[in-house]
Amino acid sequence: MLMMLKTMMSMLTNMSMLMSKHPMSMMMMVILQTMLVSMISGFMMESFWMAYMLMLIMLGGMMILFIYITSIVSNEMFNQKMNKKTMMIITTTIMVSTITMMDESMISSMSMNMETNMMNKIQQNEMTETLKKMFNTPTMKMMMTMMIFLLITLIMVAKMTNINKGPIRKMKN
């Protein structure tokens, strides 16, 4: 039921993104969507580590895009008005998701199959084994080298940038 709620929230975010016109609101929707996808993938696996890494990588890229967009669109006003069409779509989505979740909970409480439980355990074991392979001895040196390289690159970029120069584009007067 929790998974269904997250999926409905993801669909609602997608619909809201279609109606937004300002780049900053679109960027915030993409960040919210990234967090929702990482939460959904985390609940599908036994461990949250892979979803956590995915979220960190995606948010790192989003931060770069966020800085770029704020420097380009710094003078544009942010007006978000809720019209009747938007309110109807949001209300309809919430109503459909509530009805769907109620039906799903009734059906799932009546029919708990032993076979589906066994398949879920097998899938969880396979995902755990894949995650263990990534952090075990053969790939540990390569993983540590990449982490140290990324840390050094981050420190170098932070030292090279000059905060006193301001945004990429000059502001209009």
Contacting residues for 2 by C-beta, under 8 A, at least 6 apart: 43
Alpha-carbon span 123 to 62, nearest angstrom? 31
Q: Evaluate whether 118 touches 62 at the Cβ level (below 8 Å).
A: no
Q: Which residues of the chain have pLDDT under 70?
A: 1-8, 46, 74-83, 86, 97-135, 137-138, 161-173
Give the per-residue pLDDT at 162. Answer: 63
Alpha-carbon span 28 to 146, nearest angstrom? 29
Residue 170 lies in a domain: no
Give the per-residue pLDDT at 38. Answer: 82
Q: Which tokens in the block code for residue 155? A: 């420190």
3-state SS of 50-83 is HHHHHHHHHHHHHHHHHHHHHHHCCCCCCCCCCC
User: Would you state the torsion angle of the CA atoms of residues 21, 23, 28, 33, taken in this order, to the nearest 10 degrees?
Assistant: 70
Residue 172 lies in a domain: no
Residue 148 lies in a domain: yes
Give the per-residue pLDDT at 72. Answer: 72
**For the chain, how many structural domains are there in total?**
1
Give the per-residue pLDDT at 101. Answer: 62
Spatial CA neighbour of 86 closest among 21, 39, 146, 151? 21
Residue 171 lies in a domain: no
Give the per-residue pLDDT at 103. Answer: 56
Give the per-residue pLDDT at 134. Answer: 63
Spatial CA neighbour of 3 closest among 117, 105, 127? 105
Q: End-to-end CA distance of the chain, in Å?
A: 53
Expressed as residue numbers, the domain containing 28 is: 2-165
Q: What is the pLDDT of residues 104-122, one digit of tens each?
A: 555 555 555 555 666 666 6
Residue 34 lies in a domain: yes
Q: What is the pLDDT of residues 135-162, one digit of tens each?
A: 676 677 777 888 888 888 888 777 776 6
Q: In Å, how far from its chain's centre is CA 65?
A: 15
Give the per-residue pLDDT at 109. Answer: 53
Helix (H, G, I), strand (E, B) or coil at 145: helix
Residue type, 168: I
